[in-house]
Amino acid sequence: MAVKYETELYPPLKLFFEQRGYAVKSEVRHCDLVGYRENEVRPLIVEIKKTFTLELLLQGADRQRTGGSVYLAVERNRDKKGAHNQRFGDIALLCRRLGLGLITVTFYKTKPPFVEVLCEAGESGSKAGGARAKRLKTEFEARSGDHNIGGANKRKIVTAYRENALKIARHLWMLGEASPLMLKEASGLGKAAGILRDNHYGWFERVSRGRYRLTESGRAALNEYAAVVAAWTER
């Protein structure tokens, strides 16, 4: 059973690696899936496409610069057996030589998807403690949860920065007007003043010296990301 969107591959891949002991989040610094095991520095990175392409191979090679264990994940389409992008024996041989892991996901009409690792990721030669790896881990840890879907295109990503801006917007909505210091204390964000000043999303309006309120677009954002806000209150 062929899938229509890359995002359909993300849930079974997330479950597969969570069962291997990873904490998993999607769309972290342009990586479709990122995971970490407790007390491990080296990240798990999975790039997802419906079919195997040169673009996917190049993405995987780029992600190896983090020093992570990098996998390429595609659908195994039983209806297209024999097609060049379904020649998984040859593709696995190529990936193994490049140090990339290869995963296929097979979908069925009446049973759960089957995730199969055709070859494990090897050593990339890059240090896991490098600058790119540190930025990846910082962003991963700063997010409150997995609020995106791996493989999504043209969607707004819920980054750690967007989450922080939403926290300030939520408190402004509750307070009506507030100063940066008030919002810093209410939200626990040391960067509250900078987020208000930069106003990257147009959610905040300065009404007087040291006083801010929420704009219409800010109120709309709280509705748009209501599920993210609800997840904070549930925790």
Task: Name all domains of the chain by residue range, CATH numbers in brackets.
Answer: 6-142 (3.40.1350), 160-234 (1.10.10.10)
Which residues on adjacent β-strands are paired with residue 34?
25, 45
Per-residue pLDDT for 152 more than 90?
no
Across the range 53-77, mean pLDDT stands at 94
Choose among 118, 6, 136: nearest CA to 64.
136
| pLDDT over threshold 80, residue 124 | no
Q: What is the mean pLDDT of residues 196-208?
A: 94
Q: Name the pTM for this structure.
A: 0.86
Res 70 pLDDT > 80? yes
